[in-house]
């Protein structure tokens, strides 16, 4: 045993130490929490067992030879798509200034390997959504750690771990608060068992015509002006939406303005490009709004600006002055300073487009886009009489972030590895508690008694659309023929005992009792190998739980489709609890609105249900939603 391992062995015991050393671990994300988790994993000896892997592998701990129970190659696999930015260096301590613009995964591996050279680290500069990271990839791990910064990726990894039946340690921080959650299929609730708040969308007329808050101007610059000039149209933005309260005629006028701005975009590269953009959005469009006098009967009308009028007193070069001002991100610029920064950022972004960038999107760590959004938002705020803000403040609002705290990341990462130890302990059978005694752990800065609090892991929610289904695999033949959809339908009837059922893929419903047009079509038209899923929903009166299939391709000779495991028994869906009416007659029950994860899978093509579902959707749409603010390490769910 190495000297560095003796302290760990004394704390964990020899059996758990052996299990840790021969484990294979996946770490998704190498950012604020990810760097700290990787450091802790490496220093704890995860995946550090050397030698030949498989049945012949041996490990000696204190002179006792141990034969591993798993043929998985020990090691730590790090997957991250991001590159290192200057703003990362204040909390992601595996990176240094010379690493800027390099892939985080590669640099994290290089730096962490120096802490413990015996650990086998494999780095992937890629997206976890890539098709190569399928269910079989996840099945090759003993444990998965999530250190992600967005809900979509978290949900994806959660579902892949459920399908692969691999334990997941989920984590996140928001400012001084943090949370760690252990997840295991059929044992604990999953990440999607509790609904998550969604980002607020602003009505298009509020953003484009009647802003009253700084965030309205920021969203206008970030989701309308920047995409129209240097990216894709605002129609694809999630921040701006046409709502029922928007005036249809005004929306049509706003679309005409967007078309006019696209025409100005053709002037990109010319010296007067910034002036034409400025005069269009801060003079011509504002004058059109001012002409709508009924809109300003109870509020202050906007004041239009002209490029030449603001520039009149400027003696030095506007672009150079803007470049000098852009580094003063803590200062609140006046409107003339904002004009200079606006001209500078337009010039820089235009040069990037001329150099070959086809689409430039806002990124809080992209200084050029941040300069543009800050300057444009402040000028618009001035036009509408809204207080101006520094670029630093605008960065926080535009990125929907709470500044990340290095100590919060470090504490949360240490709790992640502690939960990892408990899960590994349950895998060797040395603990009878749920996942080896794992808990839901919280960092709570508001508590005056305890900084770290815990609660027992909750059981899975029976109605959860993500973890309640049964997961299985569908093996597709390699060179053994081309199955059609009818083959899949026949196999499901024979192997699972379905009578009436529907089949849904990411493209929508491809089969149900009323839709048989696709039965003779090749399955490859609807189903591809990778990390996508096929959902089979029982349409019978006493419906069984959903069956979710992931696809794999068999290299050996295979004549047709194969379901793995071969025999699958599906339980009935749990009955909904009947509310206690205390003897009073119950009112008409409200229709249940399915979540986005299973809306297509649970949809039925029966005509009598269409009116009820449509009514439920309208009520859901009319409901108010709160803004969910996350930082670059993303919060999960924090108790107040």
Q: What is the pLDDT of residue 265?
A: 84
**pLDDT of amino acid 65:** 47
Quick one: which of 284, 292, 286, 291 has its CA closest to 382?
Answer: 286
Interhelix angle for 32-44 vs 406-427, to 10°?
50
SS (H, E, C) 325-394: HCCCCCCCCCHHHHHHHHHHHHHHHHHHHHCCCCCCCCCCCCHHHHHHHHHHHHHHHHHCCCCCCCHHHH
User: Which of the residues are catalytic?
Assistant: 205
Nearest to 328 by CA among 341, 319, 317: 341
Q: Comparing C-alpha atoms, which of 546, 470, 467, 577 is closest to residue 189? A: 467
What are phi and psi for residue 374, nearest 5 degrees?
-65, -45
For 111, 232, 241, 361, the CA distances from 262, given in Å and listed in that order, are 46, 10, 20, 16
Helix locations, 209-284, DSSP H: 214-220, 226-230, 248-265, 273-279
Q: Where does 117-157 show beta strands of DSSP type E?
A: 121-124, 143-146
Q: Cα–Cα distance between 140 and 81 in angstroms, integer?
A: 21
Beta strands at 439-443 and 452-456: parallel, antiparallel or unpaired = antiparallel
Q: Parallel, antiparallel, or unpaired: how do β-strands 64-66 and 59-61 relate?
A: antiparallel
Q: Which residues of the chain have pLDDT under 70?
A: 1-2, 50-71, 198-202, 204-205, 233-255, 257-258, 313-315, 400-403, 430, 478-481, 555-559, 576-640
pLDDT value of position 628? 36
Q: What is the pLDDT of residue 458?
A: 93
At which residue do the structure tokens 């015996």 appear?
A: 118
Contact present, 479 and 556 (Cβ < 8 Å): no
Measured distance CA(189)–CA(253) in Å, rounded: 48
pLDDT of residue 20: 93
Element (H, E) at 203: strand 202-203
How far apart, in whole angstroms, are the C-alpha atoms of residue 590 and residue 407? 46
Other Cβ atoms less than 10 A from the Cβ of 324: the count is: 13
Angle, CA 52 vertex, CA 47 and CA 57 arms, to 5°: 85
Long-range contacts of 448-452 (CB under 8 A, 24+ apart): 452/411, 452/415
What pLDDT was estimated at residue 21?
92
- Closest C-alpha to 294, from 373, 209, 226: 209
- The encoded tokens of residue 430 equal 């040395």
Q: Which residues lie below 8 Å from residue 186, measured CB to CB, with a gap of 6+? A: 460, 467
Count of all residues that appear for the chain in the document: 640
Residues 576, 577, 583: CA angle, nearest 5 degrees: 135
Q: What sign has the CA pseudo-torsion 103, 108, 113, 115?
A: positive
**CA dist., res. 100 & res. 104, Å (int):** 9
* Look-up of token digits 């027992």: 456
The tokens describing 248, both together, are 């249809």
Q: Is 97 exposed, middle or buried (0-12, 13-18, 19+ CB in 10 A)?
A: exposed
Which H or E run contains 152? helix 151-164
* DSSP bridge pairs for 522: 484
State the pTM of this model.
0.69
**What gap in Å lies between CA 511 and CA 520, rounded to an integer?**
11
Secondary structure letter of residue 468 according to DSSP: S
Asked if the peptide bond before residue 565 counts as cis, ω within 30 degrees of 0, the response is: yes
In the 8-state DSSP scheme, what is residue 3? Answer: H
Residue-wise pLDDT for 567-608, tens only, equals 888 888 887 665 555 545 444 444 433 333 343 333 433 334
* pLDDT of 294: 78
DSSP-assigned letter for residue 246: S
pLDDT, tens only, 476-513: 886 656 888 999 999 998 888 888 899 998 888 999 88
State the number of CA atoms in the 13 A half-sphere of 293 facing the CB: 0
């Amino acid at each position: 045993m190495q000297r560095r391992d003796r302290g760990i062995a004394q704390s964990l015991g020899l059996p758990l130490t052996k299990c840790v050393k021969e484990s294979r671990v996946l770490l998704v994300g190498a950012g604020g929490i990810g760097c700290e988790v990787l450091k802790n994993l490496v220093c704890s000896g995860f995946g550090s067992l050397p030698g030949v892997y498989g049945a012949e592998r041996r490990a000696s701990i204190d002179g006792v030879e141990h034969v591993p129970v798993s043929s998985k190659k020990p090691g730590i696999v790090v997957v991250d798509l991001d590159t290192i930015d200057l703003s990362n260096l204040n909390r992601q301590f595996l990176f240094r200034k010379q690493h800027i613009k390099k892939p985080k995964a590669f640099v994290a591996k290089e730096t962490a390997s120096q802490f413990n050279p015996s650990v086998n680290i494999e780095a992937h500069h890629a997206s976890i959504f890539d098709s190569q990271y399928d269910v079989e990839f996840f099945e090759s791990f003993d444990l998965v750690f999530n250190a992600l910064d967005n809900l979509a990726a978290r949900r994806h990894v959660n579902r892949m771990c459920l399908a692969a039946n691999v334990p997941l340690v989920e984590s996140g921080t928001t400012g001084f608060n943090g949370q760690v959650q252990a997840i295991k299929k059929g044992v604990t609730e999953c990440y999607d068992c509790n609904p998550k708040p969604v980002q607020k969308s602003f009505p298009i007329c509020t953003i484009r015509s009647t802003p009253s808050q700084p965030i309205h101007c920021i969203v206008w610059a970030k989701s309308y002006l920047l995409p129209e000039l240097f990216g894709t149209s605002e129609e694809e933005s999630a921040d701006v939406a046409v709502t029922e309260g928007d005036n249809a005629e005004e929306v049509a006028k706003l679309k005409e303005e967007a078309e006019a701005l696209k025409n100005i975009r053709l002037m990109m590269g010319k010296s007067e490009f910034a002036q034409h953009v400025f005069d269009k959005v801060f003079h011509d469009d504002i004058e059109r709004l001012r002409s709508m006098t009924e809109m300003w009967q109870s509020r202050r009308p906007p004041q239009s600006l002209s490029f030449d009028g603001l520039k009149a007193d400027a003696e030095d070069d506007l672009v150079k002055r803007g470049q000098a001002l852009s580094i003063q991100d803590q200062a609140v610029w006046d409107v003339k300073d904002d004009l200079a920064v606006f001209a500078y950022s337009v010039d820089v972004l235009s040069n990037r487009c001329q150099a070959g960038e086809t689409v430039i999107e806002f990124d809080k760590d992209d200084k050029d886009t941040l300069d543009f959004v800050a300057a444009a938002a402040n000028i618009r705020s001035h036009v509408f009489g809204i207080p101006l803000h520094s670029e630093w403040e605008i960065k926080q609002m535009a990125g929907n972030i709470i500044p990340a705290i290095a100590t919060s990341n470090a504490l949360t990462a240490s709790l992640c590895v502690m939960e990892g130890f408990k899960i590994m302990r349950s895998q060797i059978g040395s603990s009878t508690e749920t996942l080896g005694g794992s808990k839901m752990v919280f960092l709570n800065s508001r508590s005056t008694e305890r900084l770290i609090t815990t609660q027992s892991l909750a059981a899975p929610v029976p109605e959860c659309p993500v973890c309640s289904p049964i997961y299985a695999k569908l093996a597709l033949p390699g060179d053994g023929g081309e199955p059609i959809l009818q083959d899949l339908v026949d196999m499901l009837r024979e192997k699972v005992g379905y009578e009436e059922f529907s089949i849904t893929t990411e493209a929508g419903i491809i089969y149900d009792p009323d839709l048989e047009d696709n039965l003779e079509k090749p399955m490859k038209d609807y189903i591809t190998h990778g990390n996508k899923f096929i959902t089979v929903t029982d349409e019978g009166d006493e419906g069984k739980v959903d069956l979710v299939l992931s696809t794999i391709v068999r290299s050996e000779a295979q004549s047709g489709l194969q379901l793995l495991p071969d025999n699958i028994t599906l339980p009935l869906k749990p009955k909904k609890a009947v509310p206690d009416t205390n003897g009073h007659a119950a009112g008409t029950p409200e229709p249940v609105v399915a979540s986005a994860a299973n809306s297509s899978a649970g949809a039925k093509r029966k005509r009598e249900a269409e009116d009820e579902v449509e009514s439920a959707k309208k009520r859901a749409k009319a409901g108010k939603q709160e803004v969910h603010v996350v930082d670059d390490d993303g919060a999960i769910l924090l108790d107040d």
